[in-house]
Structure 1
């Protein structure tokens, strides 16, 4: 499943469109880190792995930018626990 990620700066979220529905991760950009605060997948799309794929793609984008991450969203934190390659993104003082 090909997934395109769009950074919607006006709404402060990374988005993807799937079957005319938007799944997203809300963020806050700060001086020291990008805070991923909430992930939402429409109920009609749940159970298809869309949330995990969205998180992976957003983390890959942040990795390319050498950004530091504060995973405030429990779903993002759980994804990083299961995929430790992304632990290098964690800002100082953040653990999953």
Structure 2
């Protein structure tokens, strides 16, 4: 299986969301900031979108961005919590005291 590439992720800081376009429409990951932490609060998908690998790749790209900015990540949305459970290598991004 080929690795999934994400064309471009835009950080729309005004709307507090990461955005990327797919043929089915716009995917957004909503966030909020607080004290060097980014809270990932929601994923909005187009109605017909069901590509789980793409969503995982999108989450990975967002987490890499957080790593570069030296942010801790607090996953709020269940799909993002599930990603952390499946990918324990990213747990180092969690703030101290947060267990998943």
**Runs of 4 or more above 3 Å deviation:** none
Q: Could you tell which deviates more after superposition, 20-29 or 40-49?
A: 40-49
**Would the aligned equivalents of 1:7 and 1:13 in 2 still touch at CA under 8 Å?**
yes
Number of matched pairs: 96
Q: 5 Å matches for 1:1-96?
A: 1-3=4-6, 4-19=8-23, 21-96=25-100
**Would the aligned equivalents of 2:24 and 2:49 in 1 still touch at CA under 8 Å?**
no
Q: Give the root-mean-square deviation of aligned CA atoms.
A: 1.5
Cα 1:65–1:32 shift into 2, 3 Å? closer
- Structure 2: state its 5+ residue gaps: none
When normalised by structure 2's length, the TM-score is 0.86
Query: How far did 1:49 drift?
Result: 2.4
- Structure 1: state its 5+ residue gaps: none
